[in-house]
Structure 1
Amino acid sequence: MSKQVCLLVLSSSPNGVSAPSFLQCYKLIQSAFILQIATPDGAEPHFIDEDEQSTRWLADMESKKPLCTIGLGVCSLFSAKDSDDSWSFMDYSLTGSSLGELIISPIFVGMPYIPSDIIFDKGGRYCEGAPNTVHVIINRNVNL
């Protein structure tokens, strides 16, 4: 039986998120669920009350582990911002569903934007393969 997905939404409050409380919650949840972590507007969480263990653990978690998106999953990266409010994936080479694949898809008419246009507008580089072919880009820690 596969695990269900649990979305853990952290506060983006300037008061911060307690590092020990976050770690305790994370350790309890990750054993039962596939855990996804999010913050409002993709803001960087501000951890407070860090002890030696939580500092090491958070540093390991933030060490740019590989990231992978498939198809329209690249859209999940659009709200990610660095501390200077710039897009986190500026100057990365990214890919996703080709325009040819999107046009023949039933979801195309309801799409609010074209992913390749957003990538270009935000300062990224976009590359696509022929429709219905495998096209993989490995760029730094991002696998698409």
Structure 2
Amino acid sequence: MTDSSSQGPAAKLFTLSKRMLQRLLRMAEHRLTLATIELEEEKQQLLKLLLLAGASLLCLAFALMSLLMLVSWAIDPAYRLTALSLLCLTLFILAGVGVYSTLKLSRKSTLLVETRRQLQKDLRALQEPTDDQ
């Protein structure tokens, strides 16, 4: 006789708490799996981004040095110092704008967005009254 009408209140409470614990453990396992998958994807994307940015910056640096040499040779020697000063100032301003843009973009957090969304969903589901009673 194991039907629910013959169980006492303690057995029902034990069954409900056991079911709740199983659900919590399954949710925790799924969220941990999701978090590790997202971290792996973020790591791969970050590595690709760093390699691409490094190669681009290296090419840009060589191009700028070549351009500066070309411009300095093309300018009349009497104005060469003024022109090089203006070129350096322009490059510093562009570098400042680049650093500011990079810092602004880096503040936007996209790390584990889906995991956080699922955890909020789980929290709402746990706070809702259930019909198991």
> Normalised by the shorter chain, which TM-score bucket?
under 0.3
Structure with the larger strand share: 1
Structure with the larger helix share: 2
- TM-score, length basis structure 1: 0.20
- TM-score, length basis structure 2: 0.22
User: Per chain length, whose mean CA-contact separation is higher, i.e. which structure has more relative contact order (CA < 8 Å, sep 6+)?
Assistant: 2
